[in-house]
Amino acid sequence: MTEPIQIFHNPRCSKSRQALELLSEQGIEPEIIRYLETPPTEQELSDILVALNYQPRELMRTGENEFKELGLDNPDLSREQLIAAMVANPKLIERPIVLANGKAAVGRPPENILTIL
């Protein structure tokens, strides 16, 4: 059995809603993970970063107050410290993220997710 398609979703985000609509148009009912309420674990987030081929800051919303307040632009912070900060402050995680077929895509723009379906 194949893994279900998952979307790390924030219903208040227009790009996240658009990505969910795109999935629906493809006949896909993904597992919806409201990551602000149920953040990924550090291991899950690390796995997502590997699937995206991203470094942690590439998946961070650098304009959020928490980014500045926590000093996350400090180049001395390790990968593990940055991942821990995102898990502790899920608002920092860029959205939406779709996982499908062992791959991951960030839906910015939402059409990016179509590349992994």
Which of the listed CATH numbers 1.10.3720.10, 3.40.30.10, 3.90.1200.10, 3.40.605.10 matches domain 38-93? 3.40.30.10
| Residue range 5-42, pLDDT digits in tens | 999 999 999 999 999 999 999 999 999 999 999 999 99
- Rounded Cα–Cα distance for residues 108 and 111 (Å): 7
Residue 53 pLDDT:
97
Share the mean pLDDT of the chain: 96
- Rounded Cα–Cα distance for residues 64 and 31 (Å): 27
Q: For residues 43-66, give the mean pLDDT.
A: 97
Residue 82 pLDDT:
98
User: Does residue 1 surpass a pLDDT of 70?
Assistant: no
**Domain residue spans in the chain?**
1-35+95-117, 38-93
User: Does residue 102 surpass a pLDDT of 80?
Assistant: yes
- Rounded Cα–Cα distance for residues 14 and 33 (Å): 16
Catalytic residue among 5, 9, 13, 98: 13
Helices (H) and strands (E) in the chain, counts: 4, 4
Residue 2 pLDDT:
66
| Residue 67 among the catalytic residues | no
| Residue range 82-96, pLDDT digits in tens | 999 999 999 999 999
Q: Which helix (H) or strand (E) segment is 100 a member of?
A: strand 97-100
**52 Cβ contact list (under 8 Å, min separation 6):** 58, 59, 97, 104, 105, 106
> Vertex 103, ends 100 and 41: CA angle to 5°?
85
